Amino acid sequence: MKRILVMAAILCSSIMLLQSCSTPKNAAGNASLRRANVVGYWVLNDISFEGVPAENVKSMFNEASYKCFIGSTWNLTNSGNGTYMLPGTADCPTRTQDIFWSASTADETFQFKKLNEGEKAKNITDGYRLILSSASRDQLVLRSPVDYGNKPAYIVMTFIKNAK
């Protein structure tokens, strides 16, 4: 009987040791949030709102109406350099903006800084931090927190992968 208890204790100890040495799982439990899934050419095909009426959102990223961003193309390279291009309509001028971006799967954020000609990202202190809700090979969903009243509100941007 004593041998059985000793063997059981050794077995349990071995299992606990092996589990503690295994590779860690994503704390959020969302394996699709990988930086590699964010890299690529994206088209912003939908903007929706959570907790804030659309008419109360005057601009996005201190630039233009959210309507001007629908159909915009975002090129996010592996180096962190990138651009977004507003498509231009009767109410919105065509515009290309250089950016420097990063994504952190640990805290589920996507952030970027706007770069003007001749500027280096390390010298820019202002930028935008969004929630990286999901990132797969085909779809990217970012949520931008906005101030509206005293409760959380978000602009939700859904991108689809553009094969370029």
State the Cα–Cα distance between residues 160 and 86, nearest whole angstrom: 15
Q: Which domains does the chain have, with CATH numbers?
A: 28-161 (2.40.128.280)
CA distance 156 to 13: 47
100 contacts: CB under 8 Å, gap ≥ 6: 80, 81, 82, 112, 113, 115, 121, 124
pLDDT tens for the chain, 164 residues long, are: 666 654 545 544 544 444 444 334 444 445 456 788 899 999 999 999 999 999 999 899 999 999 999 999 999 999 999 999 999 888 899 999 999 999 988 899 999 999 998 888 999 999 999 999 999 999 999 999 998 988 889 999 999 998 76
Cα(64)–Cα(47) distance, integer angstroms: 14
